[in-house]
Structure 1
Amino acid sequence: MGARQTEIEVVQNWYETVGEQDVEAALSLLAADVEWNEPDGFFVSGVYHSPDAVLENVLEPSAQEFETFAVQPDRFLNDGSTVVALGSFRATTHQGEQIESPFAHVWEVDDGQIVRLTNYTDTALWQ
């Protein structure tokens, strides 16, 4: 077994595995009782409490709702178990409309697993 990943590495690994569409690897990074918070007005709004709920309510709809959907972090800030990722969502609708929306993701990592995510984004851009 390799060295324990830092909190930033765990979060970076999440973005990499999702970008590679390696859903199994992405879900393995989530704690069994993860708390996943998506803002009201976002197309996947809600609070989800398990890897399966994140798959069914966030990852699968993101893939189905859009022709392309990418989550691109540009910067990471770390303070203990908290990691903040700043970046942009980039999507293309099935009708060819381009959407770009900045985000701030606040992650909590405990013992190498993601225990909480809160997504902050401009939900009006998704209407």
Structure 2
Amino acid sequence: MESQQANVNIIRRTYEGPEFLLEAVTDSTVWTEAAGYPYCGTFHGATSIKSNVFDRLGTEWDGFVATVHTYHEVANQNIVITEGVYTGTYKTTGKSIRADFVHVWKLDDGKIAAFKQYVDSHIVVQAMS
């Protein structure tokens, strides 16, 4: 088993910018955005994750940020759970969001094996319409 603190540090770094997150994903990473969320779906590998999630967030939103307020370590599982809030302004409508999220991260050998998002997608959809 990997060090739980090392896993938390890897995940903490991913929130510092998409470039750090993309360093931690691999071609076999499975990334799942919540059903009902505008970017919903399951994406495989860094290229798909970048184009289907982060490129869109970067071009469609001003100041979109995921701010984590709590990190949870799942003992002996290589899983880190984060709780936080998304903020930003949707460019097309000018509407801002503040939406709670939970992210579940599974790590393997210091890389992200899987990600699953839980979010109040209704708030995000309202801002986009």
Distance in 2, Cα, partners of 1:78 & 1:45: 25
TM-score if structure 2 supplies the norm length? 0.86
Instruction: Give the superposed CA RMSD.
Output: 1.3
Aligned: 1:37 with 2:35: no
Deviation at 1:42, TM superposition (A): 0.8
Unaligned runs of 5+ in 2: none
Q: Paired residue for 2:53?
A: 58
1:101 alignment partner AA: A
Aligned: 1:117 with 2:112: no
Q: Paired residue for 1:87?
A: 84
Distance in 2, Cα, partners of 1:33 & 1:109: 12
2:111 alignment partner AA: Q
Aligned: 1:15 with 2:18: no
Which of the residues 95, 106, 114 maps onto 1:108?
Answer: 106
Distance in 1, Cα, partners of 2:21 & 2:81: 18
Match of 1:6, SS?
A: helix
Unaligned runs of 5+ in 1: none
Aligned length: 118
Deviation at 1:97, TM superposition (A): 1.3
Distance in 1, Cα, partners of 2:30 & 2:111: 12
Q: Paired residue for 1:96?
A: 94
Match of 2:13, SS?
A: helix
The share of aligned pairs that are identical, in percent, is 24
Deviation at 1:110, TM superposition (A): 0.9
1:120 alignment partner AA: Y
Match of 1:16, SS?
A: coil
TM-score if structure 1 supplies the norm length? 0.87
Match of 2:17, SS?
A: helix
Match of 1:96, SS?
A: coil
Q: Paired residue for 2:69?
A: 74
